[in-house]
Structure formats: structure tokens, C-alpha cells
């Protein structure tokens, strides 16, 4: 099929064909913006009983390789006790990166589809063997499956991040928190910034 010249026509935006693509485009922007640009800090208070309390600051960021995030440095002293180097537990990088990758590819696909809808709709709807509608349908179906699979994977990964950085998760990871007379608590969780509104899913 030979494409005719570009002729701007905004009518498809008023139809489900174009309107849905705009929604998909906005969703893709929100998806990779909320996950891919995330950075936040947790504050952990270590209550030492009779001695001076301690504070730990932990910075979390995409792609959430928690096992690389240092909780306590080597040979640190907390509550008068020497603590070995300790990292957070877990790695949600694959699910986070896959989710962002699908969002970016979907964003590009929606842009290309909208360009065709708005400028080449006559060719798109050409009854003489046009393959655009079938190709568009197949790609849309593929992205629907990818969104379902990787959104579910990221939801599980996000829950793992939340569990690892919760008070219970910190207490089980940091040995000093299990000592008699010592208590650990996450007193400040990473902020719900607009660009990271997925962060506290299920909280």
C-alpha cells in the first residue's frame, strides 16, 4: 500500500480509535514517569534504651536493587555494639525495568499510531488491501498482554520493596535491632512525590 501525503485531520480524536490511543499515551507517560524517575529516603530510628538513640538514612531509587543499598557501613557502631556491613534485602530491578520498558515502547507506538490517524487516515482506511487496521489491532492486543503481565510483576516487586523497607523488614535485616533493649522503627517513609505515586501501592 502506498501512503498518500500527510493531511491533518483531527476527527479521529473524537472517535474511540483516536481517543483510546490518547489515553494509552497518557498512561504510558504516567507509568514510566512514576517508576523510572523515583528517588526517596527512609529514616530509621534505632532506640538504644538507656544510651543515645541512633538514626539511619536510606535512599531508595529506581531500579530498586535493594541488595545494593547499604543500610549500615562496615564496622559501624550502633547502641554501643559493632555492626557488620548490612544491605537491604531483595532485588526488584527486573520487574521495575520491564515495566518501564513496556511503558516507553507503548509511548512510542501510540505516538506513531496517532501520527497515522491524524495524517494518513485515508490510507489507513483504504479498502484496497490496507493492512494498517489489522496490524494496529495485533499490536494493541500485544501491548494489552504486556501491560497485564509486567504491571502484575511490578506490583509484586513493589510489594517486596515495601516489605523490605518496613519496620518489620528492617528489624529482621539489621542484627542490632534484635538485641535486648534495642528497638528499631521506620519513623519517616519515602515521600509520595507526584512523580512516584505508585510507590505506596497497598499502603
Check pLDDT > 80 for residue 180. yes
pLDDT at 201: 39
Check pLDDT > 90 for residue 104. yes
pTM for this entry: 0.80
> Mean pLDDT of all residues in the chain?
83
pLDDT at 169: 92
Query: What is the CB-side half-sphere exposure of residue 127 using CA atoms within 13 A?
Result: 0
Q: What is the full DSSP assignment across 110-131?
A: HHHHHHHHHH-HHHHT-TTT--
The model's pLDDT over 16-47, given as tens digits with 9 standing for 90+, comes to 888 889 999 999 998 888 888 888 888 999 99
Check pLDDT > 60 for residue 197. no
- Split at pLDDT 50, 70, 90, the class of 52 is confident
pLDDT at 16: 84
- Split at pLDDT 50, 70, 90, the class of 117 is confident
Domain extent listing, the chain = 11-191
pLDDT at 77: 85
- Split at pLDDT 50, 70, 90, the class of 2 is very low
> Exposed (0-12), middle (13-18) or buried (19+): which is 55, by Cβ within 10 Å?
exposed
- Split at pLDDT 50, 70, 90, the class of 152 is very high
17, 132 contact by CB (below 8 A): no
Check pLDDT > 90 for residue 182. no
pLDDT at 5: 66
Average pLDDT over residues 93-105: 93
Average pLDDT over residues 128-148: 86
pLDDT at 3: 53
124, 133 contact by CB (below 8 A): yes
Amino acid at each position: 500500500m502506498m501512503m498518500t501525503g500527510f493531511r491533518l485531520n483531527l476527527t479521529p480524536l473524537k472517535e474511540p480509535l483516536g481517543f483510546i490511543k490518547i489515553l494509552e499515551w497518557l498512561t504510558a507517560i504516567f507509568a514510566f514517569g512514576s517508576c523510572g524517575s523515583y528517588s526517596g529516603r527512609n529514616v530509621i530510628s534505632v532506640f538504644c534504651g538507656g544510651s543515645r538513640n541512633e538514626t539511619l538514612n536510606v535512599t531508595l531509587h529506581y531500579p530498586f536493587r535493594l541488595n545494593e543499598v547499604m543500610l549500615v557501613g562496615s564496622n559501624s557502631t550502633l547502641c554501643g555494639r559493632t555492626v557488620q556491613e548490612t544491605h537491604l534485602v531483595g532485588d526488584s530491578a527486573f520487574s521495575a525495568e520491564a515495566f518501564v520498558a513496556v511503558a516507553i515502547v507503548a509511548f512510542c507506538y501510540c505516538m506513531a499510531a496517532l501520527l497515522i490517524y491524524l495524517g494518513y487516515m485515508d490510507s489507513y482506511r483504504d479498502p484496497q488491501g490496507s493492512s494498517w487496521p489489522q496490524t494496529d489491532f495485533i499490536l494493541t492486543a500485544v501491548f494489552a498482554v504486556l501491560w497485564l503481565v509486567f504491571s502484575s510483576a511490578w506490583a509484586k516487586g513493589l510489594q517486596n520493596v515495601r516489605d523490605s523497607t518496613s519496620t518489620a523488614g528492617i528489624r529482621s535485616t539489621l542484627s542490632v535491632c534484635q538485641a535486648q533493649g534495642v528497638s528499631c522503627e521506620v519513623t519517616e517513609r519515602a515521600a509520595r512525590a507526584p512523580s512516584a505515586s505508585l510507590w505506596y501501592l497497598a499502603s
